[in-house]
């Protein structure tokens, strides 16, 4: 596996750890409210849902790290699976919440996926 592909996968994992922190621990702060475009009232009312969503982002990050460190063929399979999951989740988020998600989540995941596949 190329170092470029591995770094790309780990960067996507880091992004999802950051999203986990925002959604699970910082949801009601001005930083998270600004990132997600929510009001203080909405953030307070939805913080349990956001924490659940953050946990799922953590699972995506864990799967990507697993793929980056596991030997092939498992590492390759895990990277492909979790990058596709990230891309699909980004497409859904872009369609239902904000088009910005397409550029923050889906495009980077597809670039990383292309690097992983090209390195095979």
- Annotate 18-50 with three-state secondary structure: HHHHHHHCCCCCHHHHHHHCCCHHHHHHCHHHH
Overall average pLDDT of the 73-87 stretch: 98
Write down the pLDDT at residue 120.
86
Averaged over 92-111, what is the pLDDT?
95
The mean pLDDT of 89-110, rounded to a whole number, is 95
Confidence of residue 31 (pLDDT cuts 50, 70, 90): very high
Closest CA to 40 of 26, 28, 54, 23: 28
The answer to whether residues 63 and 78 touch, using CB atoms and an 8 Å cutoff, is: yes
1: pLDDT confidence band, cut at 50, 70 and 90? Answer: low
Average confidence (pLDDT) over 109-120? 97
**Alpha carbons 91 and 30: distance in angstroms, whole number:** 26
- Inter-helix orientation angle 3-24/107-118, to 10°: 150
The reported pTM is 0.92
Q: Are 33 and 17 in contact (CB under 8 A)?
A: no
Average pLDDT taken over every residue of the chain: 96
- The answer to whether residues 108 and 11 touch, using CB atoms and an 8 Å cutoff, is yes
Give mean pLDDT, residues 106-119.
97
């Amino acid at each position: 596996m190329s170092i470029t592909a591995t770094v790309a996968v780990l960067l996507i994992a880091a992004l999802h750890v950051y999203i986990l922190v925002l959604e699970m621990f910082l949801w009601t702060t001005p930083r998270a409210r600004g990132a997600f475009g929510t009001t203080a009232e909405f953030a307070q009312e939805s913080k349990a849902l956001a924490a659940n969503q953050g946990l799922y982002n953590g699972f995506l990050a864990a799967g990507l790290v697993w793929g980056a460190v596991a030997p092939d063929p498992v590492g390759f399979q895990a990277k492909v699976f979790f990058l596709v999951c990230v891309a699909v989740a980004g497409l859904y988020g872009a369609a239902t919440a904000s088009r910005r998600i397409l550029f923050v989540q889906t495009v980077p995941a597809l670039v990383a996926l292309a690097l992983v596949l090209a390195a095979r």
